[in-house]
Amino acid sequence: MASSMAYIALLCAALAAVVALLRWAYRWSHPRSNGRLPPGSLGLPVIGETLQFFAPNPTCDLSPFVKERIKRYGSIFKTSVVGRPVVVSADPEMNYYVFQQEGKLFESWYPDTFTEIFGRDNVGSLHGFMYKYLKTLVLRLYGQENLKSVLLAETDAACRGSLASWASQPSVELKEGISTMIFDLTAKKLIGYDPSKPSQVNLRKNFGAFICGLISFPLNIPGTAYHECMEGRKNAMKVLRGMMKERMAEPERPCEDFFDHVIQELRREKPLLTETIALDLMFVLLFASFETTALALTIGVKLLTENPKVVDALREEHEAIIRNRKDPNSGVTWAEYKSMTFTSQVIMEIVRLANIVPGIFRKALQDVEIKGYTIPAGWGIMVCPPAVHLNPEIYEDPLAFNPWRWQGKPEITGGTKHFMAFGGGLRFCVGTDLSKLQHYTVVERGTPSDKGRADREKVAVVVTADVRPVRYGRRRRGAGGSVAVAALPVAAKPAGRETAELCGRKHHRHLRLRSSGRSGSHQPAVTPLLL
């Protein structure tokens, strides 16, 4: 009798557990709302659709995750990422509205895993006065006045030096080369970076480890990409923390870089900054200043190799500038930079197609009624710029590289309904002008001004589906994986009379975009958290 009663009790407990589990799963998939929720699925309890969200995208097209759900649910749908309900918007009007309501109906927000990666006190997680204060601080370095008086010449010189260095090497990985060039320059301006110093020698390597696992499933155990990412952050922060300690111990140290200005803010009688906020700021700036631009430029080279007419038009514009110079070998001036309209159109098109920012996150501060749907308070919103930039209703033949589509249109200085590569609203990226300047310098210096020389000494280009490994090197037979061949002449003019050419003087050199033997993919970097 007792055993049968125990059996019944056990059965009832099991049944109650099953009912409770089913009820919990139902509530997960059917969350309460004061209005009509967008269509979509929240996926499995807790996990949601995280696995699908982090799946790599092997093309420059819209990610399969977003593309499939737009077809199924429309331009606005709900999902769940790392345990949080999120509304994804591919609707231009809704995206613009979200940006314009920053601090009123929405605020900047990122899933906890991204916050752990970039620091809980990073600039993207701060709001109100503190965010405005940090933005003003950063504009001391990235503002137009400093770009005009200092950074234009320094960026141009760094690009000329790198191209000259590459010309003397048998092989250079383009993505790594551009990343190193931009990192060396921006890190020097930010922290006085000197790779010859023992304490800084591994800093670039630490950021490389960080980037490799940036867009990965958040499983922090040894052997995973996410763990490698977190280890890279920890090691980079250790270097920055050591530099801060050294500088804080030198009260008479002059301001030589941006970090010194940050240290001065910390030394105030009543500082607004904390050491944690300062370190997270430096970490994010170092990442945002080079990686996203380097990836976009690598994709830009691929696009230029496939479109020789664009290269010809760039050459004509650059030759016209050089003809009007007193010294043809002098550096570019601000007036010349602002006058190159077609180069600006090329940069806009590269940025549109590169889609380095796959999503910009916000959080609803209250229930928001929009487009016939209700976004509950506390839910996340992911604005999806690639879905706008690749929308055929907005851009004719959106996957085509066509800089002329920007002809006659005014320069974009903020986020618009149809272009939001740098965000929008109050959080329009403060590094936008610097990024455009870096794009311009590589495009301008990488296009030879002598069409006859370019015809004689072409760079053969083999383009593969894998954008990540890009090498300047000698062409070898038997390299598989190529899907297209084109020609892009590339040259550099360093200071002085000698001209270093990547295409070589007597022997042909080749620009090879080839597979590394890994099942890699073009996975955009996460937004630089200045958005």
Cα separation, 170 vs 164, whole angstroms: 13
Distances (CA, A) of 103 to 127, 133, 362, 531: 8, 15, 10, 13
Q: Could you tell me if 386 and 339 lie in one domain?
A: no
Residue 1 domain boundaries: 1-30
One domain for residues 310 and 378: no
Which parts are annotated binding residues?
429
Tell me: the pLDDT tens digits for 33-58? 788 999 998 888 878 888 888 877 77
> Is residue 505 domain-resident?
no
* 326 Cα distance to chain centroid: 38
Identify the pLDDT of residue 28: 60
Among 390, 416, 447, give the residue marking a domain's end: 447
Domain boundary among 412, 447, 482: 447
User: Based on the domain organization, do 166 and 283 belong to the same domain?
Assistant: yes
Do 214 and 179 sit in the same domain of this protein?
Answer: yes
Measuring CA to CA, which residue among 236, 244, 256 is closest to residue 192? 256
Is residue 151 domain-resident?
Answer: yes
The burial class, CB within 10 Å (0-12 / 13-18 / 19+), for 444 is buried
Q: Is residue 485 part of a domain?
A: no
What pLDDT is attached to residue 358?
83
Q: What is the CATH number of the domain that holds 406?
A: 1.10.630.10
- The answer to whether residues 253 and 333 belong to one domain is yes
Sign of the CA dihedral running 205, 151, 445, 412: positive
159 inside domain: yes
**By C-alpha distance, which of 41, 23, 290 is closest to 179?**
290
Residues in the annotated binding site for heme: 429
414, part of any domain = yes
Residues 203 and 282 in one domain: yes
* Residue-level pLDDT at 452: 42
* 124 and 148 assigned to the same domain: no
* Tokens found for residue 219: 């499983």
In-domain check, residue 504 = no
What per-residue confidence (pLDDT) applies to 167?
Answer: 82
Burial class for 409, CB neighbours closer than 10 Å (0-12, 13-18, 19+): exposed
- Same domain for 167 and 41: no
State how far the Cα of 349 lies from the Cα of 401, in Å rounded to an integer. Answer: 7
The pLDDT of residue 328:
77
Q: How many domains does the chain have?
A: 3
Q: Which two tokens stand for residue 518?
A: 């890994």
- Residues 301, 378: one domain? no
Q: pTM of the prediction?
A: 0.81
Tell me, yes or no, whether 16 lies in a domain. yes
Cβ proximity of 479 and 428 under 8 Å: no
Q: How many CB atoms lie within 10 A of CB 112?
A: 12
> Residues near 178 by Cβ (< 8 Å), separated by ≥ 6?
162, 293, 294, 297, 298, 442
| Cα–Cα separations (whole angstroms), residue 15 to 11, 21, 22, 242, 410 | 6, 10, 11, 58, 66
- 514 located within any domain: no
Could you read off the pLDDT of 237-267 as tens digits, one per residue?
Answer: 898 999 899 899 888 888 888 999 999 999 8
Strand partners, 87: 78, 381
Residues 363 and 350 in one domain: no
Q: For the chain, list residues with pLDDT below 50.
A: 451-531
Residues 158 and 276 occupy one common structural domain: yes
Rounded CA-CA distance 182/107 in Å is: 31
Check whether residue 90 and residue 232 sit in a common domain: no
Task: Give the model's pLDDT for residue 453.
Answer: 44
